[in-house]
Amino acid sequence: MERKKLVMSVFIVLLLMLLGTIAGVSIYTYIAVNSTDGAQEIQAAERLTPDQITTYKIDAPFKTNLLKGEDGNDHVISVLISFAISNINQDENKKLTELLDNSKDMAKSRVLRVIRDKTYEELSQGGASQELLANDILAVLQESFETNLITEVFVSEMYVY
């Protein structure tokens, strides 16, 4: 009789452990599937139409040195960027635009950090390098301003010397 109780207790403990593991994996999977990452945000930006965004322009081009690359030479970049802010929620758009207007120096500084961490080799690959730069800047701006309303970065001019 005592042995049956022991076997039953072990069985119940193992069953509870199994159910706990299943619950943990289910919660983890739910969070992983429903969280947003950069790729999902970029896909969302591609679905926005021009009337659903406000374009925020940085007036002057960024001109700065690049990180020394494989060739060991100094290189300079001049790049003009602007970015899209979703205006689906007008109130949030207005708040973010005002925040950006009051924090232009911070935004410029964060963009410059991204640019200065690139090498000539990374940025001289044509359109793919512009897209890479735009995606990196987008991630930094979204993180810096703690928002997903910034949906896309536009590189309208880019010269690498």
| Terminal Cα distance for the chain, rounded | 86
The answer to whether 138 touches 108, Cβ cutoff 8 Å, is no
**Distances, alpha carbon 121 to alpha carbons 43, 73, 86, 137, in Å:** 27, 11, 33, 18
- The SS3 call for residue 64 is strand
How far apart, in whole angstroms, are the C-alpha atoms of residue 40 and residue 148? Answer: 11
* pLDDT tens-place string over residues 97-146: 999 999 989 999 999 999 999 999 988 887 788 899 999 999 999 999 99
How far apart, in whole angstroms, are the C-alpha atoms of residue 111 and residue 96? Answer: 17
How far apart, in whole angstroms, are the C-alpha atoms of residue 78 and residue 58? Answer: 13
CA-based angle 92:85:124, to the nearest 5?
A: 150
38-160 is classed CATH 3.30.479.30: yes
How far from the centroid of its chain's Cα atoms is residue 31's Cα?
Answer: 18
How far apart, in whole angstroms, are the C-alpha atoms of residue 71 and residue 130? Answer: 20
Domain boundaries defined on the chain: 1-35, 38-160
For 107-143, b/e burial (b = at least 16 CB within 10 A) is beebbeebbeebebebbeeeeebbeebbbbbbbbbbe
- The SS3 call for residue 117 is coil
pTM for the predicted model, two decimal places = 0.67
Q: Give the model's confidence band at 6: pLDDT under 50 very low, under 70 low, under 90 confident, else very high.
A: confident
* pLDDT tens-place string over residues 13-67: 888 887 778 877 677 666 655 554 444 444 444 567 888 888 998 888 999 999 9
The answer to whether 148 touches 41, Cβ cutoff 8 Å, is yes
